[in-house]
Chain A
């Protein structure tokens, strides 16, 4: 790890003037420190925002849910309002990482987690790191994408953002020019030749709040892992819907860990919209959601897996 200057700030306002390409905010540090230890990033200054008390809150009101960027995954998981009205988000937070990591990891940092691709985290100067070649594409790719969205086939690794997308959440981002409000669905984008990250935050910007509009009547997050706990998703699904008269309305289905970003399964949503979701319809929705997916050499299993999860999530949401 390269040496750096560490600056403690007391509130979010102090942060913005300090940010630039060579200065990074430090929140829980659970991704920042591993990246720095591996030499993947080497900021000259770390702006420790953890003492910025104005960024750590959960407020539920008429307008929905306001979550300060420094809120930890543990706080999200345990918050009674989140659990009751935004279940998918609480579940996604609860299923992420481990208890200690959830104590440390903030929602803001979670949105910005970099790819967990083993080439990226290893000794390979791959495309996402600024190199020429994606090693995973022709290498080992069992954990990689089944929807091809960029030269990189890494999957977006964080759990809560898929839930946030199903809840149509927005981010409040502050930069030198002031604040902007952007849907999570727009904020997370596949990397491009010029921007080798899985998100669109500018170096001089800070995420200050996540705003979740008033929740639907039901939502669920399902995550498949290759051991019982503490693993990144093999695939995940967040579903939110209003169940009225036994039918599903405003259905939103988001697939996680299958692409550079969480993906809305629009065709599947359309298929079930306003319907009574039978097991058979749930199964078809799964198939529809995966119609455009293409497996790489080592991840064929993700097609049945993600189909199964979509169907299961729809069945679960109908069951209430």
Chain B
């Protein structure tokens, strides 16, 4: 049994492969911890209520809404944010596909979209269009970049090819 709070307590998070040490109240969401305490502002706060998907990050590879996740729950788990996808300054193939297919306009929903797509392809490397639509259904886009998003995910899937 591990007890935290109600005041700030020290926790260690593994974010994009690096350990991060933060002092947080248990009530602090993972999203606010990433954005405010760690300066990782890629994940966006749009609704704060699980209604949009802009705050999507991966926790142990699973796509979740970080606005409905507490930071304290994530001790010992591997968190991937959008900042963690590019390697040595080279965009991840999914990110490249989003640029190539103009799968964004204002870009505010985009980090969440890319991570949702990442989780989708990890589970289903060769999705059909219907599977892409179903898998991306948890990420709204007010600018209406949806057609580009579908194309980007399908093309990224094709590029990476079937995985073993």
Q: Which A residues fall within an 8 A CB radius of B?
A: 1-10, 14, 26, 28-30, 33-34, 36-37, 44, 46, 48, 50, 97-101, 103-104, 229-230
Contact = CB atoms under 8 A, between A and B. Distances in A.
B138 interface: yes
A14 B116 contact: no
Given A4-B5, A4-B26, A6-B5, A37 B137 contact: no
17 contacts: A3-B26, A5-B4, A5-B26, A6-B70, A7-B1, A8-B3, A10-B1, A33-B50, A33-B70, A34-B68, A98-B137, A99-B63, A99-B134, A99-B138, A100-B138, A103-B62, A229-B134
A8 B3 CA distance: 6
A6 B4 contact: yes
Given A4-B26, A10-B1, A29 B68 contact: yes
Given A4-B6, A14-B1, A229 B137 contact: yes
B53 interface: yes
Contacts of A7: 1-4
B25 A9 contact: no
A38 to B, nearest CB: 9
A171 B67 CA distance: 30
B72 interface: yes
Nearest to B6: A3
A5 B3 CA distance: 7
B137 A230 contact: yes
B3 A100 contact: no
Interface of B: 1-7, 25-27, 29, 48-50, 53, 56, 62-65, 67-70, 72-73, 116, 119-120, 134-139
Given A100-B138, A230-B137, A30 B68 contact: yes
B54 to A, nearest CB: 11
A29 B1 contact: no
Nearest to A104: B64
Nearest to A78: B123
Contacts of A46: 26
Nearest to A48: B73
B5 A3 contact: yes
Contacts of A230: 137-138
A1 B71 CA distance: 14
A37 B48 contact: yes
Contacts of B2: 7-8
Contacts of A14: 1
Max chain A C-beta neighbours (<10 A), residue from B5, B26, B53, B137: B26
Contact of A99 (B25, B48, B137): B137
What are the 7 A-B residue pairs with the smallest beta carbon separation, nearest first?
Answer: A98-B138, A6-B26, A3-B6, A8-B2, A100-B138, A99-B138, A6-B4
Nearest to B112: A100
Contacts of A48: 72-73
A8 B1 contact: yes
Contact of B5 (A5, A9, A30, A50): A5
B3 A6 contact: yes
A3 B27 contact: yes
Given A5-B5, A14-B1, A34-B49, 11 more contacts: A5-B3, A6-B70, A30-B65, A33-B67, A34-B50, A37-B48, A99-B134, A99-B136, A100-B56, A100-B65, A230-B138
Nearest to A121: B49
Contact of A5 (B6, B48, B65): B6
A6 B28 CA distance: 11
Contacts of A50: 73
B69 A104 contact: yes
Contacts of A33: 29, 50, 67-68, 70
A144 to B, nearest CB: 20
B102 to A, nearest CB: 23
B73 A100 contact: no
Contact of B1 (A9, A34, A100): A9
Max chain B C-beta neighbours (<10 A), residue from A3, A6, A9, A97: A6
Contacts of B29: 33
A182 B138 CA distance: 34
A229 B53 CA distance: 14
Contacts of A26: 70, 73
B64 A3 contact: no
Contacts of B119: 99
A294 B106 CA distance: 46
A10 B88 CA distance: 38
